[in-house]
Amino acid sequence: MEYTVNNANLQYNTSGKKELGEDVVLLKCDVDLTANTPWNKEGYTVEKFLPSDIYRTFSDNTYSLLMDLWGKAGLVIPENFVLDQYHTLTEQKEKHLAAIEQTKTLPVTSFPVEIDVLEKRVSEICEIPLQVCNPFDNQSIFHFRVIRPGKQDNNPLHRDVWLEDYKDCINLYIPVAGSNEKSSLIIVPESHYWSESAVERTLSGAEINGVKFNVPAVTQITARHQFVRPNPALNELLIFSPYLIHGGSSNLNEDATRISIEIRLWKK
């Protein structure tokens, strides 16, 4: 799969069987949490997150949480460490894998602010009451996504809803460190309303250069499209439909790790 975003050419090669999808629009059968919004056509928006004083608490608590989790993973962290220099601590693959194991599937009781603050803000933006609780498995969790420069840490292009447990929700990308026009999440606007027949994908979880992913990977797009990096700033949210094609977000920074929070909400 080859694609261009912000004048940068990116690509990945997948192994295994692939096929075009059926002539069906998945979102027509499911809950569209963008339906009440002025941005439903594009499928995403960038919005202000928190009042300044609450965001300072969020930022401080995020830093402390990462220091604690990375410490539990065995990383030796210098005093006054800058988050986007994470890659300098994890040049060995084993160290990175140990750190990632600590920073995924975290309970919302560990979220950097009270989770109802986040739920209220996103409910306002989507104009519908939402909560961080997946009806598929009753989990209330979030993840840190940590994408090092020059490494293959990012997922391939995909739709989240190719995994059953991500139906009917809305996604958040919250920048923490190193997120910019060279590293932030890539999205294909309007693709949440495409038929599956417009997209060729792997039949099962993708395998790229020996790395296995849970989600299938896009291998070709036949519809007219463009790739964008919305690039939210600190104290902004990128909110987007899980039915959008997204991912494939290689970190093109030379010396900065991109760290973000991924969390999903469902209709209350």
Domain that holds residue 215: 2-50+113-267
- The answer to whether residue 254 is domain-embedded is yes
| pLDDT at residue 136, as a whole number | 94
Tokens, residue 94:
């084993």
Residue 74 lies in a domain: no
Within-domain flag for 261: yes
CATH number at residue 19: 2.60.120
The answer as to whether 171 is a domain residue is yes
**Single-letter amino acid, residue 144:** F
Task: Band the pLDDT of 164: cuts 50, 70, 90.
Answer: confident
The pLDDT of residue 74 is 97
pLDDT digits (tens, 9 = 90+) for 203-245: 988 888 778 888 999 999 999 999 999 999 999 999 999 999 9
Q: What is the mean pLDDT of the chain?
A: 96
For residue 101, being part of any structural domain is answered with no
In this structure, what are the phi and psi dihedrals at residue 143, rounded to the nearest 5 degrees? -135, 150
Q: What is the pLDDT of residue 211?
A: 81
For residue 76, being part of any structural domain is answered with no
Which residues face 44 on adjacent strands? Answer: 240
Query: What's the DSSP call for residue 228?
Result: B
The mean pLDDT of 154-182, rounded to a whole number, is 96
Residue 133 lies in a domain: yes
The count of structural domains within the chain is 1
User: Which pLDDT belongs to residue 53?
Assistant: 97
pLDDT one-digit tens code per residue, 80-138: 999 999 999 999 999 999 999 999 999 999 999 999 999 999 999 999 999 999 999 99
Mean pLDDT of 47-67: 98
Q: How many CA atoms lie less than 13 Å away from 75 in the CB half-sphere?
A: 31
Determine, yes or no, domain membership for 239: yes
Tokens at 148, concatenated: 């090092």
Kindly report the backbone phi and psi dihedral angles of residue 234, in degrees, each rounded to the nearest multiple of 5, phi listed first: -55, 140
